[in-house]
Amino acid sequence: MVENVRELLKAHEGLKHEVYLDIENSSFVAPEVVEAMLPYFNKRAYGNPTLTHKPGWEAFEAIMESAQKIAGYLGCKSLEEVNFTPGETEANNLALLGAASQIRAKRGKIVVSEIEPLSVVHVAEMLSKQGFSVVKVPVDGEGFVNLEKLKEAVDGETVLASFSMVNHEIGTIQPIKEIAEIVKDKNPNAIVHTDASDAYGKIPFKVQSLNVDMATISSYKILGPRGIGALYVKEGVNIERILEGQIGTQKLWPGVENTPLIVGFARASELVFERFEENVSHMRRLRDKLINGIINRIHDVKLNGPKGEKRAPDNVNISFLRCEGEALTIELSLNGVYVSSGSACTRRLLQPSHVLTAIGRRFEEAHGSILMKVTRLHTEADIDYVLEVLPKAVERLRGITGSTVVE
């Protein structure tokens, strides 16, 4: 296996242009974020923030300042509503398991959509084995939650609901405020969680206006460092820790806080929100250029998810008929274009994306899908290069010539 990887890496030597679009699964870190983090590794704030010495006090101050910034961007009442975790997966687990632990005696119903990330879907399925009733609400062909089915699903027994604000694979922007109102109307005491990782820094929202009790956000999806995320927990909402250990500044997540990553998360947030409209407009322009370029140049493709304003500004998900997605990712990689086939959670299992099958894509359509996400740092030249490489890669893999590429 190691030798195969080394051979593949050697085949990439000498590439003149590289475009990384696999932001869903990992990301490069913005240079300004790296610069902001560096001093916190060995020059200052490297202490434990709970200890009474200068490095510890510096770490405490850095963490609190970072939490204050992120709380401001989220529209929290206070920085105490921001709880740092090692990432999106951990935040989603904390949200669902922590809420379930608090309401375990009641059991009751948990409602999610069919297209939630696996860190929500799998936790819900696990809780179903512990006595909770779990209902998965269907979506339409563009990934929007069927609100009528939602109204049928929720009732006075509903204790917890989790719906992503933006779908991580196909970019569908859900009406989260309306969804929360439907749930709360049936049971005002129900806890509503949203995974807002693909919304934070990309679509405007404030948690207080959404009527949600908890929200997950992630650092790397805004070009911050990997290994850090956060869970907003509304003041007055009680959930329990799911891990035990030394408690520091984060009451819901034990252990010594990773100060450099927290500082990096806050700096990445600053860079996004300082020029929010400009950044979003730039991503939307590149997104549309990529989508339209693919549709105009390549036959037999399907856009997965909605178009225009109903779609996240960074998301491009296309199914290439008669073309296997994993093979296409390799072919593109050899030409310096880095994308993913399906989600990282499912691709090594050789199973089609549960999101794509939920919106009605056939097995072969799901397996022929490519997910790409643009960022504020991508350029027009990057998209031009992708549109130069991609049609040739598809044509080669399909094994045909003139009928694939439209001049």
Report, as residue numbers or ranges, the catalytic residues. 345
Please say whether the beta carbons of 135 and 163 come within 8 A.
no
Which amino acid does the sequence have at 362?
A: R
Residues listed for the chain: 407
Give the chain's largest Cα–Cα span.
72
Cβ-contact 95, 216 below 8 angstroms: yes
Q: At what angle do helices 88-102 and 118-128 cross, to 10 degrees?
A: 30
Interatomic CA distance for residues 324 and 345, integer angstroms: 18
> Of 209, 232, 189, whose CA–CA distance to 95 is shortest?
232
Is the separation of the CB atoms in 27 and 344 below 8 Å?
no
Structure tokens at 120: 């929500």
Terminal CA-CA length for the chain? 40
Beta bridge partners of 373: 315
Closest listed residue to residue 60, CA positions, set 45, 77, 40: 45
Contact between 145 and 179 (Cβ < 8 Å) = yes
